[in-house]
Amino acid sequence: MIRFFNTLSGKVEPFNPIVKGEVKLYTCGPTVYDFAHIGNLRAYIFEDLLKRFLVFRGFKVTHVMNITDVDDKTIKGANAEKVKLQEFTKKYTDAFFEDIQKLYISKADYYPRATDHIPDMVKIIKGLLEKGYAYKKDGSVYFNISKFPNYGRLSKIDLKELRPGKRMESDEYEKESANDFALWKDKKEGEPFWETEVGPGRPGWHIECSAMSSKYLGQTFDIHCGGVDNIFPHHENEIAQSEAFFGKKFVNYWLHCRHLIVDGEKMSKSKGNFYTLRDLLARNVDPSALRFLLLSTHYRKMLNFTFEALEGASSSLKRINDFLYELKNRPFEEGENKDISRLVEDTNKKFIAGLGDDLNISVALRALFEMIRKANILISQGKVYRKDGEKLMSSILSFDNVLAVLPGEEEETLSSKLMKKIEDREKARTDKNYELADQIRKELLKQGIVLEDTKDGVRWKVVKSKE
């Protein structure tokens, strides 16, 4: 059973998707006005861990992540640089894709951009006006939160303090200012605008996620994620817009990760403790170690980034890589030890149970390192044989489908000669020439290519050599 802590109910709940075996997932993506900082990357890595685990457990996941390319911050940035909004946001959108690739974050199925979905947003805004949930004021359109009785349920804000009729124009604000929020902002000097049925102007930030999630995932979907800062006002407003317009429950499970802080303090440029992935790469930080660090603290705990912690992550990772190197290079004798099969099975169960319990990564990693420790003892006692070595290797590789901290599938860099060998083995298997297939597999293993047969075909990985 899989269980998640749902921000909406404030409880850990069993996870049951709307359609059995399928998960529709929406995660709030970057506002492309700057390079992603490691706090943003924590959120993306938590979401990637969630998604990879669901895929590992056999779910077909459809993942949508929006790109906010028009809002207060992007407009301000473009104006400051005196460039067109599109030119400004392109630079940071490209950088975002480069960053997530470096961190082995698997790609979403859709990355809708806000500026490509203005008509979808206008349709909802128009509907909200017609249904009486929204009103026009000085050319802008506001959502009337007093018309939506469930307002505040996600963030648990007290609406008694509410002063009806007060309006909030900016995209981001504190709980204390829970007022009617802008769905559409009137055309302004120096701002891009669209001519639409609700007037000339541009969307507020929140409406894009209601428009794009329903377009790609349906009016009600399974999981919505973000960092805790998204809970209010952004996600609260998304619920209000979507539920008022569609008349249906918006999202079943809300998962939010807590923030990353640096050296015990909030990241800020003025304190000099603000890091982007680029800053860290310039200091020769290994992206796998950073990924390992960012995912190894439970997502609902605050994560304190320090360079010591990064070193710790690096050495944990080295333990895994050294173990794989050992398995690859030791001339194991033919044979099998049942204790290894049991160890692998037991570890697999613990790994799955750990992550299934609201993504309890500590339990999953503990099981993995315990397996390495025990197997190393058995190796030193000469009690591990060829088949055992293979089982241990494929077990680690299968865990890495979730963790993605080992050197990735370097498809472009694998020589065509090696690719040809993989194909030859596939052919041998299709021809039921298992002896030849096995021989090729062993040859590849000697060159550091590990093959894993999955239901979707053969997967391969390069095992890093000891430095």
Binding map of Zn ion across residues 5-44, x = CB under 5 A, - = no contact: -----------------------x----------------
Nearer to Zn ion, 28 or 125 (CB): 28
Angle subtended at Cα 396 by Cα 393 and Cα 399, rounded to the nearest 5 degrees? 150
Q: How far is the CB of 107 from Zn ion (least distance, A)?
A: 18
Binding map of ligand AMP across residues 8-47, x = CB under 6 A, - = no contact: --------------------x-xx-------xx-xx----
Q: How far is the CB of 171 from ligand AMP (least distance, A)?
A: 10
Nearer to ligand AMP, 39 or 77 (CB): 39
Q: How far is the CB of 411 from ligand AMP (least distance, A)?
A: 29
Longest Cα–Cα distance in the chain: 81
- Please return the burial class of 433, using the count of CB atoms within 10 Å of its CB with bins 0-12, 13-18 and 19+: middle
Report how many residues bind Zn ion under the rule CB under 5 A: 2
Nearer to ligand AMP, 77 or 227 (CB): 227
- For residue 226, state whether it binds ligand AMP (rule: CB under 6 A): yes
Region of 117-125, 141-149, 252-260, 379-387 interacting with ligand AMP (CB under 6 A): 252-260
Helix (H) or strand (E) run with residue 445 in it: helix 434-446
Nearer to Zn ion, 238 or 390 (CB): 238
Query: What distance in Å separates the CA atoms of residue 185 and residue 263, rounded to the nearest whole number?
Result: 39
383: tokens are 């009690």
Q: How far is the CB of 209 from Zn ion (least distance, A)?
A: 3
Q: Strands (DSSP E) along 191-276, which ranges? A: 194-196, 199-203, 221-227, 251-257, 260-262
Nearer to ligand AMP, 36 or 244 (CB): 36
Query: What distance in Å separates the CA atoms of residue 205 and residue 182, rounded to the nearest whole number?
Result: 8
Q: How far is the CB of 267 from Zn ion (least distance, A)?
A: 21
Q: How far is the CB of 275 from ligand AMP (least distance, A)?
A: 11
Q: Can you tell me which of 122, 157, 260, 405 binds ligand AMP, judged by CB under 6 A?
A: 260
Nearer to ligand AMP, 43 or 129 (CB): 43
User: Tell me, what amino acid is at 226?
Assistant: G
Nearer to ligand AMP, 40 or 144 (CB): 40
- For residue 172, state whether it binds ligand AMP (rule: CB under 6 A): no
Q: Which residue shows structure tokens 């859709």?
A: 110
User: Tell me, what amino acid is at 301?
Assistant: K
DSSP string, 364-423: HHHHHHHHHHHHHHHHHTT---HHHHHHHHHHHHHHHHHH--S----TTTS-HHHHHHHH
Q: Strands (DSSP E) along 7-76, which ranges? A: 11-14, 22-27, 60-65
Query: What distance in Å separates the CA atoms of residue 296 and residue 312, rounded to the nearest whole number?
Result: 11
Quick check: bond before 17 cis, omega within 30? no
- For residue 297, state whether it binds ligand AMP (rule: CB under 6 A): no
Residues contributing to the site for ligand AMP (CB under 6 A): 28, 30-31, 39-40, 42-43, 226-227, 229-230, 257, 259-260
Residues contributing to the site for Zn ion (CB under 5 A): 28, 209
